[in-house]
Chains A and B, each alone.
Chain A
């Protein structure tokens, strides 16, 4: 039986691999930071839950301009307003789906929930512990990839 820490490390590594596979620009990940209690958001964020062999949530957050640039790089068109929000949801769906695919090749079955897009200044509570990684995407900017695992 693997410890929660070991499993969390595997998911986090897989999650970052997925970010690189889904977003086709060079990405540099900073050192993961562990945090407690809550997640603060200042612009746009998206939450995807995962269930199955592992339970937890993935949050991707960042400034709208950065998501706009990612969308433009991936699909060749500028996005704004509701279409940008929908793109952010779909981006998280693709990253989480890719993570689920990669985890299945490691023998872990995980299913994902539809994304919940969160817009504006807000605070997420009900979090025991999480890990946050800032990823710098070339010519786009920084996004935060957050993994919340449950005991």
Chain B
């Protein structure tokens, strides 16, 4: 079980992820709707795992990962994006993300990724 911060600009996607994570026994301690909001909430809530969207207004997800990793090098972040090209995955991993899920996703894939990120 982990305390999770969900970052996505779509309320629908946050609801989907929240349902899946709760079913998997995790606790969603916060939600953010853009990268800037995510950095602030990360600092305030100190989640154990972050799910991070990429395409968002104000600040996109990969930049938010860089800022969060600067603040906390041990931050455990999994990307959850509709863009799955190699370059995007490489950039996210280089920024410090541990895993990458491409939308639309299966429930089990999300929970498996959280396990992977936690054991990292």
Q: Which residues of A contact B (CB under 8 A)?
A: 22, 74-75, 79, 82-83, 86-87, 89-90, 93-94, 96-98, 100-101, 104-105, 109, 111-115
Contact = CB atoms under 8 A, between A and B. Distances in A.
B104 A22 contact: yes
B22 interface: no
B51 interface: no
A100 B55 CA distance: 12
B82 A82 contact: no
Contacts, number: 59
B84 interface: yes
B93 to A, nearest CB: 16
B57 to A, nearest CB: 5
B1 interface: no
A74 B102 CA distance: 15
A4 to B, nearest CB: 23
Contacts of B102: 97, 101
Nearest to B9: A114
B16 A75 contact: yes
Interface of B: 9-13, 15-16, 55-57, 81-88, 102-104
Interface centre among B56, B87, B103 (most CB of A within 10 A): B103
A113 B57 CA distance: 8
Given A22-B104, A97-B55, A114-B57, A82 B11 contact: yes
A90 B10 contact: yes
Given A82-B11, A86-B10, A86-B11, A98 B82 contact: yes
Contact of B12 (A86, A96, A101, A111): A86
B66 to A, nearest CB: 17
B11 A101 contact: no
Contacts of B87: 104, 109
A109 to B, nearest CB: 7
B11 A96 contact: no
A101 B10 contact: no
Given A93-B82, A98-B82, A104-B87, 12 more contacts: A83-B12, A86-B12, A87-B12, A89-B10, A94-B82, A101-B83, A105-B85, A112-B55, A112-B82, A112-B83, A113-B55, A114-B57
